[in-house]
Amino acid sequence: DVKVTQSSRYLVKRTGEKVFLECVQDMDHENMFWYRQDPGLGLRLIYFSYDVKMKEKGDIPEGYSVSREKKERFSLILESASTNQTSMYLCASSSPSERGAVAEQFFGPGTRLTVL
């Protein structure tokens, strides 16, 4: 079974703090994604990565950055946390569809971040 783990289930930070959210997958997937999930808005893509050192902006990248130094690990960074970044953050991984896979995404348990 694919396993995607996230470093924290719950996190409370103060406005202006730098926040690191870590995600690790154990299935050798090339693709990794960060979403935020808010009630009534579904999942919105923040950043994604197709390979080590690669990153692409998603639909709502403002206020976030990412790092992918190793294939299995994808970090989301909030440079200066703000209250409007209070949300559930989900990490996902997938295989590339070019290899014949359907590129379905496997999700971690999520990190519920509260910024005070």
Measured from the CB atom, is 26 or 56 closer to another protein?
56
CB of 104 to another protein, least distance (A): 6
Instruction: Give the residues lining the site for another protein (CB under 8 A).
Output: 31, 33, 40-43, 45, 48, 50, 56, 58, 90, 92, 94, 96-97, 102-110
CA distance linking residue 68 with residue 113, whole number of Å: 21
CB of 79 to another protein, least distance (A): 24
Q: How far is CA 47 from the centre of its chain?
A: 7
Q: CB-based burial of residue 53 (10 Å sphere; 0-12 exposed, 13-18 middle, 19+ buried)?
A: exposed
Measured from the CB atom, is 28 or 104 closer to another protein?
104
Euclidean distance between the first and the last CA atom of the chain, given in angstroms as a whole number: 37
CB of 14 to another protein, least distance (A): 26
